[in-house]
Structure formats: structure tokens, C-alpha cells
Chains A and B, each alone.
Chain A
């Protein structure tokens, strides 16, 4: 006999787990179905090479909502976020830009390039603080639809108007600029130092098939700045045990609240009858029943794979077909026999505990994009590097290290050949790029895992390997995410909900879509969350 639940959550990524935890806390009998043997989705730690633990996909944490951490009491379930305190940008000539928590040292470091920039840096930080605070409000609300104007939409829009009218005029102007400008133009308004501008605007291209000079990237930059740790914006951290530890903590909280989590349980489709969902069919043919089914998968899978297009309005189907995924990034994870030795900062030091950004100039990043525009991976890619073992010794055997290199650009659609053919060439390009700044790198690599956009798609199910379940450009945000008219977590199929990063407020290890969607489900059931 088929087991019956109150709610089934498709996908055990961090959003699916957050969603399930909130539903279970409200008293629902919840089951999470995860295709892989482990939970986490793109938030996993795996020991691919013995003794070395990789955060295979996502690698740093900042956006995770503090209210979720508190309400689910994730620290008690093992979540510990260790600070990433610095950013090092090595330069090809052996110089560098190093910024850390020491305000005066960072000032001096920027002043080596430009005293004006060193002084503008504080003002830039303050401005982004105002922006992050302005946008933070949006992270906590379900997006109202300005075209629909139901009572909930009107209430939401009034709240929005009140919130934004509360901003100082110059802050409101800046916010509009952020939503429309390119990251490079945005940082140009403050700075003249190329390496500083490049490193700051690099946050604007992550996970996005756009260059730093493409309009829309300024918002992506802000998206990476509004992370909040202990009340402070812009703080980035590293989850002890890798990002998989985040998923495991949420899973533990969900289980404690009564949720059942099944792994190795891929879902084939949602069961829809007369416009209403009544369960799911697993790939093995089993059926599970529930009046509520929430998909944490991306919009493509949620609307085009799991249900029949016939059950959906044509405008939604068209919108989802046009929704931009465009995977643009890959990952290279390295097991190292020793610590990497940077030409610009030789030996051990606190810089190994921070981020390293290979972004020497705006032109460098733009050229990297140029390659990708025509279907090649970047010959000299942008790299965002962390060395988790330098922060958390448990990630590698003593004295050895793991290095996580986020690589951009790696277009999902290649001009020639396939990713299966080009995987190792891509890995070589990354190592060659690294070797320009870390001369000892080739000698210390014990193992290399190359993750292409195709690998991301195959392993996690993220369409085209887009890490955010769809680009975070303004045309795909807020009431437009994932499609105009379908942004409120409900779908046209009754009882079928969406709760992944493809909904507002988007990607990153944030958990907000999962929580906001749970609020929607519970409100529809007439239940109160806790």
C-alpha cells in the first residue's frame, strides 16, 4: 500500500530541507525525497580522495538567513560557520592587493595603489551596507505581484512602498543604479585602481553568463554582499566540515521535527489529477501520496519534467522555456600535499585562511567572458579560491590541504566538442592559471577533481549546471522569478509548490526560498508555523 504523507518535498538540497523542517515543525507529516545517496544537492561535502574532503560544489556561506539558523537551532545540529577574513588578489607581476579585517592595514594596502581609493573604500562599504539593508527586507517577504493586485499583493506592495520611501533619496537612487548598471560601471563610480575594481566587480559575475561590463551584474554583486553573519553584512564564512555540514545540520533539524528523509529516491514525476497534485511517482515505480508536493528543483524540472505541460497554462510553459540558466561556471577541487606558496605572499600566513581571487584587471575578466561568449571556456579564467583545510583542519590530513577553485567562465554549451572531451583540458587551464601565481602548485597536487557545468547538471540536476537555479539578473528576480505571475511559490496545479532557488529571493546557501514557500503552504492549509 502506498504510504501517505501530509507533504512531500522533492529534492533534499538545502532549500528542500529547510522547507521540510518548517513544515514538520508546524506538525505536518513530511517526507523529503532525494535522488542521491546523500542530502545537500549542491551543498555537499564528499571525500572524493581518501582523507581529503571537498565541498564539491558550493564552497562558502554568507547568505544563510540568520532567522533560519536561529529558528531551526542549527548550531545545536552541528552548524558552525568559521570566518573568512581576507581577500587576496595576486597580480601577474608578483604584486598583490590584500584586504583583511584590519581596517588600517587594508587602507595602507589600497593606498599603495591610490590614496583616493583607500579613502573611497570606506564610503563604498557604507553605501553597500545601506543597499544590503534595503534589500534585506525583500529577503524576508514573498514577492507581491504588481499586475495582479489581490489583497495580499496590495498589502505587499504597500509594505514595499513604505520600506523604500523610508530610504534616503541618494540611497534610493543608488539602489536603482544597482539594479540596472554593470558591476564595472558601478565600482567605477568610486575607484580608479584596476585590481580593486576587478576584484569587487568579480562578485557581479559569479554564476552569471555575463561579463563585468554587462548591465545587470551590479545586482549580482549586491547579492553577494548582502550575506549577514551575526548582524554584519558582507561577512563570508566557511562551514566547518564543508558546505555539506550545512545541509546535514538542516537535515538533522528537519528529522528532529519529525520529517522523514529518503535518499536514493529519485522522483520521476508528480502525480496530477484534475488540476490537483496527489503525490509523486518514484523512478522505481513506487508511488507516494500527499495533498501537498513541493519541488525544490529548478523551474525547468519543476514545470517541464515533473508535470505534463498539458496541466500548465501556456504562458508559464513559455516563460520557463525562456528562463535563462546558462551555466557559466565550473569547479576544480585539489588535494594538496603541502600549503600553496603564493609568489606575492610566500609561505604560511593568514592569507591562506581567506579568499584568493584571480581577478587582476577588469579587462582580464572581460576577456575571460569573451572566450565564453563564443562557446569556449576561458583561456585565463577568473578563479575564486578558498583553502578550507587552512580554516578547518578536519578537511585534510595534518599538513596537507584541500583547495577549492570556483572557475568562470565555463559555458554549458561548448562551440566544439563536449565537456566529457574537454574536462581535463579545462582542469589543465585552471592549474596553468594557478601556476602563474602559485609556482609550487603542480608539484603538490595529489588529486584533482574537475567539475564542469555538465557534471553539475548530471550530479545535482541543476539545469545547465547553473548554480543559482537560474541567473540572478533583474529580469529573473522578485515577482519575475521564475516567471511573471507565478512567483508566489504556488503553481497552477493545486497543492503543487515550488521552494527552490529558482524562486524569490534566489540562489546561494540562503534557505529563504524554502522558508518563504513553507509559509505559503502553511497559510494555504490554514496552519500556523512555529
Chain B
């Protein structure tokens, strides 16, 4: 039986759709209402509350905590000031991605890491000989993501102990919501203004109630994974085992991806003298780039409509994100594949994340997207564009 997160007493009665997905063994709502449309718009137009407790969480402590992080992740963790958060992938010795997540620097010698899947053994093994302990705190911490343009106003009504307006993008603060001590990070998986709230499980329901009560006047809606999948594609954010395969689960070499191949080259931050896992392989790759790259694609909507109209159908592209791999062509040659795609209601565009041969990954390149209409395959034009597709100024302001 699927486990219940600390918020289950609140989310279960709200889940009118009775649609749950197994997320790391926990029941996680796909939608609360019968459809996800309203929840999607809540993220972009008001605020949405996601239960993200199933994320894996680790705490690293000790004199060498910073050194350990700096050794494990591709970003330069030593440069991360206290009170800041990093998004980063981490790799094996071959420079292929294991997982990705955020690293919060709680103090000079304490960090918190989130990941999609279990990594404790890896972190502990990497800590061999260092003065750093790594603990799995997955079940010790409940987590909510409060995302959307009104999220700041909602938080401002419920928190005490800090000025939420002053919290910069990718920073953290320790505050209270009612009696509950919580960590708030200005992070999220939506590409919008938003925060994630980390708390003790026993405080979960109280925090949920405080947020939903304050959120009532700000259009706050509980939202599920269907909506999240659309907004994270708009934000150009990768999903492990969908947009890239972990080196630990890839059965064959060709399925593995380096950060460069996954569009995360910016997160590889070598420093003179810095030795991090996968660093040497990544340095070699930087000199002799892989033939694979990452691209955001905008698929030409009038062509999609025309293909459907030719068989007298409205454009039946599912109203939710698709994780079906779709071939990408240049001429008649396959040059890559889409890993995630969605119609973006806010942009009025069909967008996709793709793994594609590097020479085609440059913005402006024109390729072809395979579209199946009435069981017949066609191709429609698509164009490589920069990600994020949707990048409101409020995200950083």
C-alpha cells in the first residue's frame, strides 16, 4: 500500500479526482479537481500548493561538510554562502549524471540536499576519510512547495521571524509559521515566483492549514503532479528518468547523460585545484564535446492544427504533458528525440525538451517533430529556442 505523507489528512479529502500517483512509494495527487487545468493556471496566475514530501532529503554536517559537497556535486559548493541554495546535478567518475537536486547551506558546516532517488550510500562513500556525517532525513522533514505570483503575499501573512519580501532567489531563511519552526527556500520546480517550505512532519497539518487559510484571498489552490509536469516543462526543468537517465539505472552506456549533454553545462564549475567526482571526465568533455546536446523546441502550432484539420479533427494533443519519447528529424535523418512535451496554455505554444545532436541544438535551428495523427505519422516543423520557455521577471525580482 502506498504510504501517506504528513499532509495526507488534508490532501486526501481534497483529492476529488481520486487520482494518485506513486511517487517514491507515497500517494501523491495527480490532480485534486477532476481536471488539472485550474491547478495549472493557479501556478501562473495566483498560487498553488504542492505536497513535495516524497523528495529524498539528506543532511550533511561536520567540519568537512562543505568540502564533501564540493567533492560530490558539479557546482562549486565551497562558494555557496550560508543561507543560499544551489541547484546542481551530481555525477559518477565518468561524468555521467546520477541525480540532481538542491543544496541548501544551513550554516558554515551544515547542508541539506534534496534528490529524486536514494543517494545516502553514495554521499557516505564519497565522505570516506572526511569529517562529515550524512543522514537520510527524508521522513524527518515534510515539504510543501508554494508557487505562483501571489505566493509571497501569502507567506508574508503567515510567517514570523523574517521579512519574506527580502528573501532573494535561491536563498533560505529560518522562520516560524504559527508555532512551527520551518525553513523557507526561494526555490521550486515551476519557473515562477515560489518557495519551498521544510518542516517537521508533526507540524505539517498546522502549516498546511495556515497557508490555505491565508491563501484563500489570494487564489491559492492545492495542485497535483499533472499541473506540475506542465509548468516544469515551461520552465525548462529536467525530470530524472524522463529527460535523462541516471547512470545507475541506465543499462547501456548510450542512455547515460553528462550535464553538458543535458543542457546543464552551466552547472559544471571547475576551479583551479578543485577535485570533484566526474571532474576529470567533464574537463575532457569540455575540450572535446559530446555529439549530443539538449534543446528546447517550439513546435509549429498552425502545422499541428493543419495536420489534424486535414482529417477533420480538432488538434487532439493531450491537454497534459507527455513523457512519450518522440523522434526529431532533420530532413529524413533522425537527429534526436523529444523527452517531454506539452501544449503551454499560457504561451499558446507546443513546447518540448529534446536530446538532440549537438550541431542541431543551436537556437534558431529548424528541425522536424514527429506527429501521429489518426494512427499515421507525419512530421511538423519545430524550431530550437532558448529555455526557459516561460521566464517571468517576478521569479527573480
B26 close to A (CB within 8 Å): no
Query: Does B348 lie within 8 Å of A82, measured CB to CB?
Result: no
Cβ-neighbour of B348 out of A66, A105, A350, A393 (below 8 A)? A66
B46 touches A75 (CB 8 A): no
- Please report the C-alpha to C-alpha distance between residue A290 and residue B150 in the assembled complex, in whole angstroms: 46
Is B388 an interface residue when CB atoms closer than 8 A count as contact? no
Taking a contact as CB atoms under 8 Å apart, the answer to whether B217 and A231 are in contact is: no
Among candidates B38, B45, B218, B319, residue contacting A85 with C-beta atoms closer than 8 Å: B38
Question: Are A231's CB and B305's CB within 8 A?
Answer: yes
Q: Are B343 and A82 in contact (CB under 8 A)?
A: no
Residues of chain B with a CB closer than 8 A to A66's CB: 348
A214 to B291, CA, bound (A): 69
Q: Give complex CA distance A350, B42 in Å.
A: 13
Cross-chain contact of A69 among B45, B153, B343, B348 (Cβ < 8 A): B348
A75 contact set on B, CB distance < 8 A? 346-348
Q: Decide yes or no whether B364 CB sits under 8 A from chain A.
A: no
Task: Say whether B37 faces chain A, with CB atoms less than 8 Å apart.
Answer: yes
A85 to B39, CA, bound (A): 12
Q: A70-B348, A231-B305, A231-B315 are in contact. Are A399 and B38 (CB under 8 A)?
A: no
Whether a CB of chain B sits under 8 angstroms from the CB of A419 is no
- What per-residue 1/0 map shows which CB atoms of A399-415 lie under 8 Å from chain B? 11000000000000000
A69 and B345 alpha carbons, distance in the complex (Å): 12
Q: Given A233-B314, A398-B217 in contact, is the A393-B346 Cβ separation under 8 Å?
A: no
B219: chain A residues at CB < 8 Å are 390-393
In the bound complex, how far is the Cα of B45 from the Cα of A495, in angstroms? 43
Q: Smallest distance from the beta carbon of B362 to chain A beta carbons, Å?
A: 22
User: Within the complex, what minimum Cβ distance (angstroms) separates A356 from chain B?
Assistant: 17
- Measured between beta carbons, the chain B residues less than 8 angstroms from A231 are 305, 308, 314-315, 317
| Contact code string A64-108 (vs B, CB < 8 Å = 1, else 0) | 001101100011000010110100000000000000111001000
CB distance from B32 to the nearest CB of A (A): 10
The answer to the question of A310 belonging to the interface, with a C-beta cut-off of 8 Å to chain B, is no
Find out whether the CB atom of B314 lies under 8 angstroms from the CB atom of A232: yes
Interface residue A240 (Cβ < 8 Å from any Cβ of B): yes
Inter-chain contact A399/B217, CB cutoff 8 Å: yes
Q: Which residues from A are CB-within-8-Å of B216?
A: 348, 398-399
Q: Assess the A230–B34 pair: CB atoms within 8 A.
A: no
Q: In this assembly, does B44 line the interface, its C-beta being within 8 Å of a C-beta of chain A?
A: yes
Chain A nearest CB from B191 CB (Å) reads: 15
Q: Is residue A353 within 8 Å, beta carbon to beta carbon, of the partner chain?
A: yes
Interfacial chain A residues near B345, Cβ < 8 Å: 230
CA distance A473 to B221 in the complex (A): 42
**Once bound together, how far apart are the Cα atoms of A184 and B312, in whole Å?**
29
Contact present for B343 and A230 (CB under 8 Å): yes
Asked whether, in the complex, the Cβ of B35 is within 8 Å of the Cβ of A102, the reply is yes
Smallest CB separation, A394 vs chain B (Å): 8
**Within 8 Å of chain A (Cβ to Cβ): is B100?**
no
- Among A74, A80, A101, A240, the residue within 8 A (CB) of B34 is A101
Contact between A393 and B218, CB atoms less than 8 A apart: yes
The proximity string for B residues 207-244 relative to A, scoring 1 for CB distances below 8 Å and 0 otherwise, is 00000000011110000000000000000000000000
Query: Given A80-B45, A83-B37, A102-B35, is A393 in contact with B305 using a C-beta cutoff of 8 Å?
Result: no
CB contacts (< 8 Å) of A240 on chain B: these are: 45
- Provide the bound-state CA to CA distance between A399 and B343, in Å: 32
Asked if A393 contacts B35 (CB within 8 A), the reply is no
B302 within 8 A of A: yes
Give CA–CA (A240, B150) in the complex, Å.
Answer: 14
Known: A392-B219, A393-B46, A393-B218. Is A83-B346 also a contact (CB below 8 A)? no
Q: Closest residue to A228 on the B side, CB-wise?
A: B314
Q: Does B23 contact A (CB under 8 A)?
A: no
Q: B305–A83 contact, CB under 8 A?
A: no
The answer to whether B38 touches A398 (Cβ under 8 A) is no
User: How far does the alpha carbon of A66 sit from the alpha carbon of B37 in the complex, in Å?
Assistant: 19
Q: Mark B234-270, 1 if CB is under 8 A from A, else 0.
A: 0000000000000000000000000000000000000
User: Do residues A83 and B38 form an inter-chain contact, with CB atoms below 8 A?
Assistant: yes
Please determine whether A80 and B38 come into contact, CB atoms closer than 8 angstroms.
no
Q: Which of A48-78 contact B (CB under 8 A)?
A: 66-67, 69-70, 74-75
Residues in A neighbouring B46, C-beta threshold 8 A: 392-393
**Contacting residues, chain B, for A390 (C-beta < 8 A):** 219
A100 to B219: give the CA distance in the assembly, Å. Answer: 19
The interface residues of chain B lying within 8 Å CB-to-CB of A397 are 217
Q: Is the CB of A83 within 8 A of B41?
A: yes
Q: Could you tell me if A82 and B45 are in contact, using CB atoms closer than 8 angstroms?
A: yes
Contact with B along A325-362 (1 / 0, CB 8 A): 00000000000000000000000101001000000000
A147 to B308, CA, bound (A): 35
Q: Is B301 part of the contact surface with A, judged by Cβ < 8 Å? A: yes
Q: Which residues of A sit under 8 angstroms from B346, Cβ to Cβ?
A: 75, 80
- Would you call A393 and B217 a contact (CB within 8 A)? yes
| Assembly CA distance A69 to B153 (angstroms) | 31
A83 to B227, CA, bound (A): 14
Expressed in whole angstroms, the minimum distance between the Cβ of A396 and any Cβ of chain B is 9
| A74 partner residues in chain B, CB cutoff 8 A | 348
Pairs A-B, 4 closest by C-beta atoms: A398-B217, A393-B219, A399-B217, A102-B34
Question: Could you list 26 A-B pairs, sorted by A, with CB under 8 Å?
Answer: A67-B302, A70-B301, A70-B302, A75-B346, A75-B348, A82-B41, A83-B37, A83-B38, A85-B35, A102-B35, A105-B34, A133-B314, A230-B319, A230-B345, A231-B305, A231-B315, A350-B38, A390-B219, A391-B219, A392-B46, A392-B219, A393-B217, A398-B153, A398-B218, A399-B217, A400-B217
Which chain B residues have a beta carbon within 8 Å of chain A's beta carbons?
33-35, 37-38, 41, 44-46, 150, 153, 216-219, 301-302, 305, 308, 312, 314-315, 317, 319, 343, 345-348
Contacts A392-B46, A398-B153, A400-B217 supplied; 4 other A-B pairs, CB < 8 Å: A230-B343, A231-B314, A397-B217, A398-B216
